[in-house]
Amino acid sequence: MSFGSDIKNEVTRLDVTKEELISELSAIVRNSAIIDKKITIFIENNAVARRIFKLFKNAYDVSPNITVRKKYFSNGLSYILTIKNRVKEILDDLSVMENDKYLDIPKEFIYGDEDLIRAYLRGVFLVTGSINDPKTSRYHLEFLVDTETYANFISNLLNQNDLNSKIIKREKKYMVYVKEAEKISDFLRIIRAYNGVMYYEDIRIYRDHKNMTNRLNNCEQANMDKIFITAANQVRDIEKLKEYDIIDLLDDKIKEVIDYRLKYPEASLSELSEIITNETGNKITKSGLNHRFRKIKEIIYNIENKK
């Protein structure tokens, strides 16, 4: 079972108020029903089908007729819920239709406060939503809806909760999506999928920690590479001084760093300064060492320019 199915199964077990029930059912019917003289809803998730049956029963004392069919080319089942009684009353009450006219956006009483918005978004997610398992390579939550006007409506509801949703056209439909891991986790809290939140946060924190560790390791490796390259260049400069046979002519401080660099060819400047300080009793800083190696470069530069 997918992570998205787990989330849907979890929220189908929620108890809600009568007002929240109406908002959730309004979103479900708006996004999944075929409406003529009856209401027909096609669902592939068994728990969602049972949830819809329960919502109709509790709200309108109507028991949808359920037909179960085997899906072609797969072993799954699809569920068809049909409501033939009180159709006009139900559609008006859910703000899906008014005076036999289809409403693209429900009236404000359906989403008039924070709890109703949560319920409405839960209904939208149950029938149009999908969410990636946080173990996968990318974080992604999406809703696939039929019109641009409705997509903007859903995006606005999400963004009232600071979820930073975006919209993109997808063939004949519109996708409302959220990409940020923290925002997706917030959405799960909004629809009250608390077990999903804990799972999502555990995986997200693990992934973030792993990514940070990898970045630190990469940074450490880059620093080590830089240290080795710098040390190798310094050894190479010393070998040039040997070729020119001028080391004996240099002052004692330069000779000292030459001796210790050749003795510790892979040490960083910090390590080398500590070694020289401890072994000679003469304190020298990393900056002081760097100055002496620059002096060696200047000597080589001057010799080669004269040549």
pLDDT tens-place string over residues 61-76: 999 999 988 877 667 7
pLDDT of 34 above 70: yes
pLDDT of residue 99: 82
Query: pLDDT tens digits, residue range 171-209?
Result: 889 999 999 888 999 999 999 999 988 888 888 777 776
Residue whose tokens read 């819920």: 81
Contact of 14 with 192, CB cutoff 8 Å: yes
> Residue 178: which region, alpha, beta or left (left: phi > 0; alpha: psi -120 to 50)?
beta
pLDDT of 130 above 80: yes
Q: Which two tokens stand for residue 236?
A: 């190479």
Q: How confident is the model at residue 137 (pLDDT cuts 50, 70, 90)?
A: low
Q: What mean pLDDT is predicted for residues 111-124?
A: 95
What is the residue-averaged pLDDT of the chain?
87
Residue whose tokens read 């709200």: 59
pLDDT of residue 252: 82
Contact of 254 with 296, CB cutoff 8 Å: yes
pLDDT of residue 254: 83
Q: What pTM, to 2 d.p., does this model score?
A: 0.69
The residue among 111, 101, 92 whose CA lies nearest residue 24 is 111
pLDDT of 211 above 70: no
CA–CA distance, 52 with 42 (Å, rounded to integer):
11
Share of the chain above pLDDT 70, in %: 94
Residues making up the chain, counted from first to last: 307
HEC string for the chain: CCHHHHHHHHHCCCCCCHHHHHHHHHHHHHHHEEECCCEEEEECCHHHHHHHHHHHHHHHCCCCEEEEEECCCCCCEEEEEEECCCHHHHHHHCCCEECCEECCCCCHHHCCCHHHHHHHHHHHHHHHEEECCCCCCCCCEEEEECCHHHHHHHHHHHHCCCCCCEEEEECCEEEEEECCHHHHHHHHHHCCCHHHHHHHHHHHHHHHHHHHHHHHHHHHHHHHHHHHHHHHHHHHHHHHHHHHCCHHHCCHHHHHHHHHHHHCCCCCHHHHHHHHHHHHCCCCCHHHHHHHHHHHHHHHHHHHHHC
Question: What φ, ψ does residue 87 adopt, rounded to 5°?
Answer: -60, -50
pLDDT of residue 305: 80
pLDDT of 299 above 70: yes
Question: What φ, ψ does residue 61 adopt, rounded to 5°?
Answer: 55, 40
Contact of 155 with 176, CB cutoff 8 Å: yes
> Residue 16: which region, alpha, beta or left (left: phi > 0; alpha: psi -120 to 50)?
beta
pLDDT of 6 above 80: yes
Q: What mean pLDDT is predicted for residues 35-49?
A: 92
| Torsion sign over Cα 241, 244, 248, 253 | negative
pLDDT of 46 above 70: yes
Residue 28 CB coordination number (10 Å): 28
Q: How confident is the model at residue 220 (pLDDT cuts 50, 70, 90)?
A: low
pLDDT of residue 209: 63
pLDDT of residue 216: 66
Q: How confident is the model at residue 241 (pLDDT cuts 50, 70, 90)?
A: confident
Instruction: List, in order of start, the domains of the chain with CATH numbers.
Output: 3-192 (3.10.28.10), 223-306 (no CATH)
Q: How confident is the model at residue 27 (pLDDT cuts 50, 70, 90)?
A: very high
